[in-house]
Structure 1
Amino acid sequence: MGPEKEAKEENVILISDDDTDTETTLGNSVVVIESSENSDLEEKESEEIVDEESGLVVTFCKKGMVMPHARYDCMTNLFERTESETCIPVKQNSDICDQCYCYICDKLASECQYWTTSSCCHCNAHNKSKFWKDQRNFTLTGVLVIFNLEPTEIDTDLRHGGELLFTFLRELSMQYNNYLSGEIVLSCQNSVCPSKQTPGQCSVSSQLHNEIIYKYSEVFNLVSSFINKAEKEKPKSAAVMLLGAAKEIALHKDPAQSWQNLPPSESLKLAVPFLMSRITKNLQRILVLSDFPKQLYEKLISFFQTIPLPPYCFRFTNCLNVPSWDDRLLTTVLKGQNITGEQKKNGKKEFLWEVLTVIKARIEKMENMGQYKELVRYLRAVKCNEGIGLRDLRDKIPFYLCKSGDFTNAAYSLLLPINNLACCTACRLTPLQFESYLKMFWTGSVPSGKDFQDSEEWILNVGSPVKCCTLIKQALRVLYSNQSLYRNSKCWSALITIWGSSPILEQNGLLTALMLIEPPSSFRQMVCDVSFGILEELRLKINVSLPSDVFYGSLNLEACFLLTIQAVLQMLLTDFPQLTSFLEILLAFGKNFWALKLFLEGLLSQMPVLHDVVSMIARDLSYQKHSLLKLWQTLGPDYVGELLCLFLSFRNSQLQSVGIFLSHVVIENLNQIVLPLFRCPWAKSLDVIRLKAFKRPHLDTANHLQLNKFVSILEKL
């Protein structure tokens, strides 16, 4: 082999993750590998070299590059290890190559500001010294060192939170120092004059003196702004920000020697508990909603426990002792293995007891995950010292049961008190909630959102709908249990609408109207005969069994409709003065005119009530014309004609007047909304009006004239 092909030994420097010295490593960041390479023919093909024993064939080789490495692993410059020398560089430790990194700053040694600075001397740092390791950890973690976090645990979010906390602590220190300086104010103080006073002279004199007032408001505003900022950050960042702020304000002292009558934000002893309450509530939510690693979770809680709380903050001592999601008692409750939330541990009873903020956070997380069965079990078992708040959360148990597809149990749970509470969920339902529940029970569908208001889109066929007989009993029980619902026309119209609607819901949550066949008069009379007893038992909360021959046959839907009509009539006889509207009850019958006729005939036996009902209908028609016209557009001209005929065909002049008023509405809106509607063929409806109403002798002269005008207008369309 010629001299031009003679190989020259070079060293290849590689990064190593091994933290221990072995026979093949120097330090922890380099490995030396011997290689043959021709320096004159760099990066060119060389002769093939074959190792017969290993079978390794080398066909190409390249000059080794020195990779970045810690100073103590440099192969060019020797390094002398010492434990904690910071005064001067040891021997040649300050010498560096182009790829030497500072172990403390984690940057190129040439860029380190403290490489040879006395009292720092980063050039002497290495990974075998506890002193230098602690220095490196403090430099890399910054203020996060107070949380006892290892560098490997610190991610981008934690580092960002630490940076914000560090900036805040500097600002807070300045504001706190200003607070300690106080403000000098001039005050007037009454004192007894020590000299003898002549009779008739006052022995009390006023003296002016300087008083120092300590106002915490600037500190309060700064901390409040920082909490607001933390609430917008990611969970890990927010956690360290809030914990750091909590520790600082807990260390603040009130320099006032006596109590000073100051507003809450200016008095330290009032402001700090308020701020601490905000901080701890945010931390409780973060711990529940965020999936922190177990080690980080425990370190955050441990840090809070080390904060020296002043006496006026003792109530926050255990507020972050929030059980993790894998807690044994909590897990058994969520799985349904423990329905009471109680267990015995070391002979003592333990309860699933959590503060309201934690309960709300757990509900939020389970809602987001769609764990509605677990959510119901949790709400039934958990205990809290804020009874009213927990009761309000438990009121959504029927809704969560619906979301899980268990509609029948949801219907029963409306009237079941939980844990011996004074009243049931039904007592606090709103008309909107009652209407939504009826729709859910009838169709087996639920709103797609987390609440009743989130109903723009519905999830269809989640479970089996509630049977008619169960639904009518539970709906009437709810109305009898809640006076505000019982006296609300929207609730009665919603119940009437259900019986005249298809159980198949549209995607947007709208019901489809049905026309039920009028049952035989004998069947109607049978339902009427048993209605009074059934309604009375339901009112008294007695477990009612509906007659099977009436409510479980082929006409079960019509039977429920008829029972509802009787319930509405009873309500009108007793609570009509409490109603604010009646038109919606009237319109809820839709095209089931036979049912509406039965209802109006029931009013004829109570003339004073009928008079009040007609007066309210006339008032409603004056104020709710838009709703009426919108409904007419949906149901068509035949519906309008049948509705007019129904009222005009009664011999009672008050009911006839409703029909005449409806004809006024048609005439007044011909050119706006009604004209396109009545251009549709409706000769059949016109003939019906003529036959049933116009030629009836019981119409008075004024009504004849009005109806004659109305028919003439319609004939010209």
Structure 2
Amino acid sequence: MGPGKEANEESVILISDDETDAETTLGNSVVVIDSSDIQEDKSDLEEKKSEEIVDEESGLVVTFCKKGMVMPHARYDCMTHPFERTENETCIPVKQNSDMCGQCYCYVCDKLASECQYWTTSSSCHCNAHNKSKFWKDQRNFTLTGVLIIFNLEPAEIDTDLRHGGELLFKFLRELSIKYNNYLSGEIVLSLQDCVCPSKQTPGPCSVCSRLQNEVIYRYSDVFNLVSLFINKAEKEKPKTAAIMLLGAAREIALHKDPAQSWQNLGPSESLKLAVPFLMSRITKNLQRMLVLSDFPKQLYEKFISFFQTIPLPPYCFKFTNCLNIPSWDHRLLTTVLKGQNITGEQKKNGKKEFLWEVLNVVKARTEKMESMGRYKELVRYLKAVKCNEGVGLRDLRDKIPFFLCKSGDFTSAAYALLLPINNLACCTACRLIPLEFECYLKMFWTGSVPSGKDFQDSDEWILNVGSPVKCCTLIKQALRVLYNNQSLYRNSRCWSTLITILGSSPILEQNGLLTTLTLREPPSSFRQKNFWALKLFLEGLLYRMPVLHDVVSMITRDLNYQKNTLLKLWQTLGPDYVGELLCLFLSFRNSQLQSVGIFLSHVVIENLNQCPWAKSLDIFRLKAFKRPHLETANHLQLNKFVSILENL
């Protein structure tokens, strides 16, 4: 309201606090006190300030008065011009109702009466409006809310965002009406003169064209494009604005009718019965996310849902009937799940089982909301309990449960969660890990730190010491179980080297996520030269993978054959003990392919005795211990030949 103007100097204006007292104050919210009750002389007024003026009839006591200011007021409260109340007179101004002072406001338009375009307009006559008439109250609400009146919103609920949404929706509805009317008009795609079929033998249209002549085609594509652009625009607006836009658009397209008498084979955007469900799907998915992610006031939240439920959906949109029946965050079942009081997501209500069941779009939105707020423990409880119509999508979200547990600081539970199936799923999270995720998990378990981002890819910066790291023995056990459960990880050498790197690093992580390698003493030369245990462990692991073993043996034999000179020089340095250990290692296997490597090495010695003066010092008795049936027949014969040569040296 604008500032008030000064009143007549011969009166004082008092504004009543309660409009219900209007009947006791001459039907108005203003009380007039005659100036004769107040001393005009300034000096006398100063003396009378402490004196009281009492109105015995009304009980009003005035302890001090001064010249009043006429404040902005509704026309029916004006003390300068009398007002006559009527219920719904809109034809002509009643008596002096059209008169106004400078501070009179239009009750309907909520602006100065002098600025009201409908003050004395026939069929409107806002000068007759007052707050005791239901008709004028409805007129005021409609004027203030505009198109928002269809949402059953009170004027007090309408803020800037809602009003902006109403303005955009109103403009859209006018444009949509034009497009829809054009659609209903249709287009004639074939007439008598249009027939140019090659099979035509007589003048005029052929038999096929005769049936199709003057057929009207109804293409919905222009309406579809307009609604699509409006949805795109709504997606960029604030939540309240967007909700008004989307709900209004949903109501309008649901009311659209297909005037075609029979099915017309048109494209998905040209056929109304295909285009409307597609648009409705876009609209409802956006609304579902808004209802979950936006903090709408509870009353507004419920009004949005109620409005959608009143939309008369056509048969081809029946699947959207309950799509916005989304439990609010304070819903009892959802609350008990988030607090950990209900781990199954089931409860009995009126003797019937009730499940926490939500569509995937809502589950994703709730996950996004809780993740952004850092409510990881609640998020884990929710994902374990909720049920969904799309199993694969829900499984992908549940695969992040170990990551969310790490974010909450519970690294040990996360290590075990990798191998635990959720709700009897066919397999566990470990089966679907990729090398990057495996490496990231090992780093988190070892250091008790987590990436600062929302994904494994966002690992440039880490939050240190979120919780207690996993014990070394538990980490090794779970890491090996993951590797043996996931064949792609098992076959990836990077994963094995990552495990070794992690165990050889400090549990104190740098801010950028880099590990600090521990410094170890150099092992003795004997360990470095004769670490046959590692080779044996490697070869034993290949015994269960025969195709791989065959390839490895072929590569070893090929490389040894190419590097004979290098091999002989190395043996000259390492001596007979090393060569004997190497021969016995390969001959000790019961696999003929591995035995053949030992036989190949013996042939290298025999063929180069002049370069192997140490050969006579080989442990002949140990070589003789390898007898049949341990060795294959051919390998046994070759070994006997090698031993005989050594004995004759």
Q: Percent identity?
A: 79
Post-superposition shift, 1:144? 0.4
CA distance 1:131–1:464, change in 2 (3 Å) = same
SS at match of 2:454: coil
Deviation, 1:457, is: 1.2
C-alpha deviations, 1:443-499, integer Å up to 9, x for none?
Answer: 000011111111121111111101111111111111111111122232222212101
Whether contact under 8 Å (1:46, 1:61) holds in the other structure is: no
Alpha-carbon separation, structure 2, partners of 1:400 and 1:429: 15
Is residue 179–residue 214 contact of structure 1 (8 Å, CA) maintained in 2? yes
Q: Distance in 1 between matches of 2:536 and 2:122?
A: 97
3-state SS, counterpart of residue 21 of structure 1:
helix
- What secondary structure sits across from 2:245 in the alignment? helix
Q: Which residue of 1 aligns with 2:11?
A: 10
Deviations 1:263-311 (A, max 9, x none): 1011100000000001011111111111111111111111100100000
Matched residue of 1:210: which SS?
coil
Distance 1:460 1:274, change over 3 A: same
Which residue of structure 2 aligns with residue 628 of structure 1? none
How is 1:349-388 mapped onto 2 (pairs within 5 angstroms)? 349-388=353-392
Match of residue 315, structure 2, among 289, 311, 315:
311
CA distance in 2, matches of 1:522, 1:27: 112
Corresponding position of 1:283 = 287
- The answer (yes or no) to whether the contact 1:445–1:461 under 8 Å persists in 2 is yes
Residue 174 (1) aligns with residue 93 (2): no
The answer as to 2:21 corresponding to 1:21 is yes
1:184 to partner: Cα distance: 1.1
Give 1:401 deviation, angstroms: 0.4
Counterpart check, 1:102 vs 2:102: no
- Indicate yes or no: 2:493 matched with 1:492: no
Number of corresponding residues: 542
CA distance in 1, matches of 2:162, 2:44: 50
Alpha-carbon contact 1:165-1:241 (below 8 Å) kept: yes
Following the alignment from structure 1 to structure 2, what is the Cα–Cα distance between the partners of residues 460 and 512? 14
Partner of 1:651: 570
- Equivalent position SS for 1:350: strand
The corresponding residue for 1:270 is: 274
**Larger Rg, first or second structure (1 or 2):** 2
1:573·1:609 contact (CA, 8 Å) conserved in 2?
A: no
**1:128 matches 2:128:** no
- Distance change in 2, residues 1:611/1:180 (3 Å): farther
Query: 1:514 and 1:651 mapped to 2: Cα distance?
Result: 31
Pairing 1:460–2:459 present? no
- Pairs within 5 Å for 1:53-452: 62-186=66-190, 207=210, 209-452=213-456
| Residue-by-residue CA offset, 1:115-156 (whole Å, 9 max, x unaligned) | 111111101100111110000000000000000010011111
CA contact (8 A) 1:104 1:122 kept: yes
SS at match of 2:301: helix
Q: Which amino acid aligns with 1:124?
A: N
Alignment of 1:633-644 (within 5 A): none
Report if aligned partners of 1:572, 1:609 keep a CA contact under 8 Å in 2: no
Deviation at 1:373, TM superposition (A): 0.3
8 Å Cα contact 1:37-1:63 kept in structure 2: no
Compute the displacement of 1:25 (Å): 4.9
What secondary structure is seen at the aligned counterpart in 2 of 1:501? coil
Task: Give per-residue Cα distances to partners, 1:224-269, cap 9 Å, x unaligned.
Answer: 1111111111111111111000000000001111111111011100
**Cα–Cα, structure 1 residues 380 and 205, in superposed 2: closer, same or farther, change >3 Å?**
closer
Question: What amino acid is aligned across from residue 20 of structure 1 in structure 2?
Answer: T
Partners of 2:185 and 2:157 in 1: CA distance: 40
Contact 2:449 2:509 in 1 (8 A): yes
Separation in structure 2 between the aligned mates of residue 324 and residue 147 of structure 1, nearest angstrom: 19
Aligned to 2:511: 507
Residues 566, 397 of structure 1: alpha-carbon distance in 2 compared, 3 angstrom cutoff: farther
In the superposition, relative to structure 1, how do residues 288 and 118 fare at CA in structure 2: closer, same or farther (>3 Å)? same
Alpha-carbon contact 1:20-1:27 (below 8 Å) kept: no
Comparing 150-159 with 449-458, greater Cα deviation is found at 449-458
Which residue identity does 1:12 align to in structure 2?
A: I
Cα distance in 2, alignment partners of residues 353 and 416 from structure 1: 22
In 1, Cα distance between equivalents of 2:545 and 2:13? 96
Match for 1:158: what amino acid?
A: L
Structure 1 Cα separation of the partners of residues 235 and 538 of structure 2: 51
Q: What is the SS of the residue equivalent to 2:127?
A: helix
Matches within 5 A, 1:523-672: 608=554, 610=556, 651=570
CA shift at 1:45, angstroms? 11
Contact 1:273 1:312 in 2 (8 A): yes
> Given the superposition, is the C-alpha separation of residues 39 and 142 from structure 1 closer, same or farther in structure 2, using an over 3 Å criterion?
farther
Change beyond 3 A, Cα 1:206–1:369 = closer
What is the match of residue 46 of structure 2?
A: 47
Hey, what's the Cα distance between the residues in 2 that align with 1:86 and 1:503?
A: 83
State the Cα distance separating 1:27 from its structure 2 match: 5.9
- Distance in 1 between the 2:221 and 2:180 partners? 10
Conserved? CA contact 2:49–2:64, under 8 Å: no
Q: Normalising by structure 1, what TM-score?
A: 0.69
| Aligned amino acid, residue 292 of structure 2 | V
By how many angstroms is 1:651 displaced? Answer: 3.1
Structure-2 residue corresponding to 1:694:
none
Which residue identity is paired with 2:48? Answer: I
Alpha carbons of structure 1 residues 26 and 184: separation in structure 2 relative to 1, 3 Å: farther
Give the match's secondary structure for 2:261: coil
The one-letter amino acid of 1:379's match is: L
Q: 1:119 to 1:295 in 2, by over 3 A?
A: same
In 2, distance between residues paired with 1:442 and 1:158?
Answer: 51
Partner SS state of residue 12, structure 2: strand
Q: In structure 2, what residue type is equivalent to 1:184?
A: I
- SS of aligned partner of 2:353: strand
Is the alpha carbon distance of 1:398 and 1:100 closer, same or farther for their aligned partners in structure 2, counting shifts above 3 Å? same
SS in 2 for 1:340: coil
- Could you tell me whether the CA contact under 8 Å between 1:418 and 1:424 is conserved in 2? yes
Please list the CA deviations of residues 527-573 of structure 1 after superposition, one character each: whole Å capped at 9, or x if unmatched.
999xxxxxxxxxxxxxxxxxxxxxxxxxxxxxxxx9xx998776677
Which residue identity is paired with 1:651?
Answer: L
CA distance in 1, matches of 2:64, 2:17: 27
Distance 1:227 1:80 in 2: 49
Aligned letter for 1:328? R
8 Å CA contact 2:52–2:64 kept in 1: the answer is no
Q: 1:138 to 1:569 in 2, by over 3 A?
A: farther
- Matched residue SS, 1:343: strand
Amino acid at match of 1:112: C
**Alpha-carbon shift at residue 205 of structure 1 (Å):** 7.0
Change (3 A) 1:248 1:59: closer
> 1:180·1:255 contact (CA, 8 Å) conserved in 2?
yes
With over 3 angstroms needed to count, the CA separation of the structure-2 counterparts of 1:423 and 1:83, relative to structure 1, is same
Q: Give the Cα separation in 2 of the matches to 1:348 and 1:167.
A: 47
Checking the alignment, whether the CA contact within 8 Å between 1:183 and 1:214 is kept in structure 2 is: yes
The separation in 1 between residues aligned to 2:516 and 2:410, in whole angstroms, is 23
Q: 1:49 to 1:205 in 2, by over 3 A?
A: closer
**AA aligned opposite 1:399:** F
Distance change >3 Å, CA 106–CA 577, structure 1 → 2: farther
Give the AA of the match of 1:74: C
1:574 offset after TM fit, Å?
Answer: 6.7
Distance, in Å, in 1 between the alignment partners of 2:149 and 2:571 is 88
Deviates more, 1:31-40 or 1:479-488: 31-40
